């Protein structure tokens, strides 16, 4: 019996997670051995417990085999003190569960090719996997803060930091992912300026010796940001640190034009993971039954694949999503003329039917 | 009599700078009061003096009113010790001359609209100015290096750092640039994670009080990387720190598809500046008379405008460039069917004739 913790979160989170939950219900009825519990994270957790990652949620998260998250954040929390804001809940659960490996696919669905702002020939067939380190780097590095410096002036400071073992373990994840795909890995750094990333490059190059079948390349982060626009299909798997990964994975998602379709997984050493759509909490359309639940449903597919090691169930969910797209169903964000516009729950109905 | 120092640099640097120099010669014959000297920077300086920014060059750079640079770097220098590499010369001259304000326009020339990988409607008329802070941030922050940490493990580390005065002065440059354009400024940060950039946001917001006619917005860097792909025309002026600016300005240049056309300026407090094309040293085509000299010639136009306060001469050069484009002349990088492919020096001939 596997334990799945569901964190609806804020904004459109509850609506999109509700549809993923219906998919899970179908799988359970068909014999998938799971237990589901729910807890708040982010703003919802602050409202209920006064903290974006309260003990209540922490305890359940530690016990779970996998966590499915909607999204966190909303304008009503913007004025809270820094440690109480929704994003801190997300950063806290990543760190607490040691979810160091963030896998973010950027895939262009043929049915949605028009949604991209790039020319069809540049993006058709696009299929990149970005492997982003998620628990180190300048996100968590100490010392940090705002102080008065030696010159008597106020100054902000943060520390980028990577230890050898942190780089090694994410490099292994990336090489292994590349082995299952087109065996090309591009490691992104700024080794010409930053010692941390020069060290990153050295360690990734060392790990490469264990994966002679994978072709490793290195690219500066500024060039990578350009190459994603110039010729994104040159990439198979990309691996990079937390902050560069934050920037490049968002850029890469947007190349598809349909970020409402893109799932993500954040894994620990033992494939326990947190799964969430790549998009945000979209407060402007929250509660209106307009959101696209497919990225969340595809995140559930990743959960089945990685944390439950149930490839068959994962493929079943992914095929159901492909079917509804092929049938021409679209939520507002991916709607175009000649297709049928549906609500969030209608999209859920269709996926359930397609299962 | 204004002093202009010319730094041909490496790779295609000497070829493209030679064409810009011819343009300067014409202007001088027509009465522009300038003195020109030349010095090496980067790999060329290492070859001649054993240092990428030798005293010889430093002395001339400090005395000059403006500096025109080709580009630095090449594979033959990749194995040098870090402090001897060409890029270190570039970083050193920026810091030495206190060139804290890097202005990088991303403009789509109507004649070159096809070169973009983005759909015409997304980029036609694109005209963004990125103002990047250039002498602070994690580029220069101390402490930095690779050491053995408390756990006995090797670790790389760097320090992001911004003092209030550094943020204030670049914010003023950005607001003033916005005042001369469409009066919209977007400040890019990662204030939800990094204290340095939360402080950045606070100071920029404070400086905004002095520019009530400019509309200020704030955006997270990951979102900015997405929005540049989704809808780049929403931006007028963007201002950000050194490392985010490095990434976003390269991404923005590539939206135009013709980075061989884009100039840049790096200014100090008194409009003394270093001017260089946004593209690199392209070692693969160096010495073949194939490179596009227009970004360098347009950098010269920026030099005339900012450091020599000679708007008329700047416009004259820019119009000459527009004329050769309108006449259908193209170097290889921007060539398409129906236009005339020319060499680097032929392009120089045409610009000189158009003057
Ligand atoms: C919300 C924010 C803290 C987070 C991050 O920067 O990691 C988000 O941008 C993401 O990529 O998941
Ligand atoms: C060559 C390198 C050090 C430099 C930088 O990172 O600033 C370059 O990428 C640039 O943008 O001018």
pLDDT tens figures, A237-257: 999 999 999 999 999 999 999
| Cis ω before A123 (30° cut-off from 0) | no
Residues of A within 8 A of B153 (CB-CB) are 163-165
Is the Cα dihedral B56, B58, B61, B67 positive or negative?
A: positive
Burial of A110 (0-12, 13-18, 19+ CB in 10 A): exposed
Q: Residue with the nearest Cα to atom 10 of ligand 2?
A: B246
pLDDT at residue A279 in the model: 93
Tell which atom from ligand 1 comes closest to the C-alpha of B222: 9
SS3 B10: coil
Residue A45 in this model has a pLDDT that exceeds 90: yes
C-beta atoms of A195 and B139 within 8 A:
no
CA-based max dimension of chain B: 68
Residue A294: the pLDDT is 98
| Chain A residues with beta carbon closer than 8 angstroms to that of B158 | 159-161, 194-196
β-pair partners for B237: B129, B185
**Residues of B forming the active site:** 139, 190, 222, 246, 250
CA of B90 to the centre of ligand 2 (A): 8
A157 and chain B: CB distance < 8 Å anywhere? yes
Q: Which residues have CB under 8 Å from A10's CB, separation 6+?
A: A42, A43, A44, A70, A71, A72, A73, A74, A77, A86, A281, A283, A286
Predicted local confidence at residue B78, as pLDDT: 86
Which DSSP string do the residues of A164-198 spell out, in sequence order? HHHHHHHHHHHHHHHHTTTSEEEEEE-TTT-HHHH
Tokens of B152: 């006995």
Residue A201 CA, ligand 2 centroid: distance in Å: 18
Angle between helices A344-354 and A311-326 (to 10 degrees): 120
Residue range A311-332, pLDDT digits in tens: 999 999 999 999 999 999 999 9
Q: Is the per-residue pLDDT at A78 higher than 90?
A: no
Q: Measured in angstroms, how far is the CA atom of residue A167 from the centroid of ligand 2?
A: 24
- Number of the ligand 1 atom closest to the C-alpha atom of A243: 6
Residues annotated within the binding site of A for substrate are 94, 104, 132, 222
Question: If you write DSSP's letter for every residue of B309-321 in order, what string do you get?
Answer: --HHHHHHHHHHH
Residue nearest to atom 11 of ligand 2 (CA): B246
B77 is known to lie in a ligand binding site? yes
**What is the percent of chain A with per-residue pLDDT over 90, rounded to a whole number?**
99
Does the beta carbon of B90 sit less than 6 angstroms from any atom of ligand 2? yes
Residue pair B159/A158 in contact by the 8 Å Cβ criterion? yes
The predicted model scores a pTM of 0.97
| Cα B2 to Cα A275, B29, B250, distances in angstroms | 61, 15, 31
Return the best residue to mutate from B83, B87, B94, B275 for the ligand 2 pocket (most ligand atoms within 8 A of CB). Answer: B87
**pLDDT (average), residues B34-41:** 97
d(CA A46, CA A220): 39
**Mean local confidence (pLDDT), B137-156:** 97
Please report how the helices B294-306 and B311-326 are oriented relative to each other, as an axis angle in degrees rounded to 10. 160
pLDDT averaged over every residue in chain A: 97
Mind listing the domains of chain A with CATH numbers?
1-104+260-355 (3.40.718.10), 127-255 (3.40.718.10)
Q: What value does the mean pLDDT take over residues B62-84? A: 95
Which residue bears the tokens 């900012």? B306
CA of A226 to the centre of ligand 2 (A): 13
Q: What mean pLDDT, rounded, does chain B reach?
A: 97
- Residue tagged 């209540």 (tokens): A56
Strand, coil or helix: A103: strand
pLDDT band at A231 (very low <50, low <70, confident <90, very high): very high
C-alpha distance from B117 to closest chain A C-alpha (Å): 6
* Confidence label for B301 from pLDDT (cuts 50, 70 and 90): very high
- Paired tokens of A249: 């994975």
Asked whether B87 and B243 are in contact (CB, 8 A), the reply is no
Percent of chain A with pLDDT over 70: 100
In chain A, the residue whose alpha carbon lies closest to the alpha carbon of B197 is A156
Q: Search chain A and give the residue with CA nearest B228.
A: A251
CA neighbours closer than 13 Å in the CB half-sphere of residue B13: 26
Query: Can you spell out the DSSP letters for B132-153?
Result: EE-SSGGGT-SS-EEEE-TTS-
What mean pLDDT is predicted for residues B76-102?
A: 95
Chain A CB contacts of B154 under 8 Å are 163-164, 199
Determine whether the shortest distance from the Cβ of B91 to ligand 2 is under 6 A: yes
Instruction: List, in sequence order, every residue forming a beta bridge with A163; answer none if it has no partner.
Output: B155
Please report the pLDDT score of residue B272 as a whole number: 98
B251 lines ligand 2 (CB under 6 A): no
What are the beta bridge partners of residue A133?
Answer: A101
């Amino acid at each position: 019996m596997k334990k799945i913790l569901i964190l609806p979160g804020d904004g459109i989170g509850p609506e999109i997670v509700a549809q993923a939950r219906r998919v899970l219900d179908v799988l359970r009825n068909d014999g998938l051995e799971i237990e589901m519990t729910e807890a708040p994270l982010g703003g919802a957790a602050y409202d209920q417990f006064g903290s974006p990652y309260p003990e209540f949620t922490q305890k359940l998260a530690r016990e779970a085999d996998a966590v499915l998250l909607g999204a966190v954040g909303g304008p009503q929390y913007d004025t809270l003190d820094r440690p109480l804001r929704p994003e801190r809940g997300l950063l806290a659960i990543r760190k607490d569960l040691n979810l160091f490996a963030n896998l973010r696919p950027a895939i262009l669905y043929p049915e949605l090719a028009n949604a991209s702002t790039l020319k069809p020939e540049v993006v058709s067939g696009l299929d990149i996997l970005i492997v982003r380190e998620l628990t180190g780097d300048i996100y968590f590095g100490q010392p940090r803060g705002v102080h008065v410096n030696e010159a008597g002036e106020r100054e902000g400071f943060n520390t980028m930091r990577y230890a050898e073992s942190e780089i090694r373990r994410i490099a292994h994840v990336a090489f292994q992912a590349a082995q299952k795909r087109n065996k090309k890995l591009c490691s992104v750094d700024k080794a010409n300026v930053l010692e941390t990333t020069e060290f990153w490059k050295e360690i990734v190059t060392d790990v490469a010796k264990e994966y002679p079948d994978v072709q490793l390349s290195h690219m500066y982060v500024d060039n990578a940001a350009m190459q994603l626009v110039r010729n994104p299909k040159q990439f198979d798997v990309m691996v990079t640190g937390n902050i560069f990964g934050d920037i490049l994975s968002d850029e890469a998602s947007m190349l598809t034009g349909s970020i409402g379709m893109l799932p993500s997984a954040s894994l620990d050493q033992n494939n326990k993971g947190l799964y969430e759509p790549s998009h945000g909490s979209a407060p402007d359309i929250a509660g209106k039954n307009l959101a696209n639940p497919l990225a969340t449903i595809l995140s559930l597919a990743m959960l089945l694949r990685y944390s439950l090691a149930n490839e068959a169930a994962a493929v079943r969910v992914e095929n159901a999503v492909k079917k509804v797209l092929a049938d021409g169903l679209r939520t507002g964000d991916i709607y175009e003329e000649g297709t049928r516009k549906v609500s969030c729950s209608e999209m859920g109905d269709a996926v359930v039917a397609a299962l």
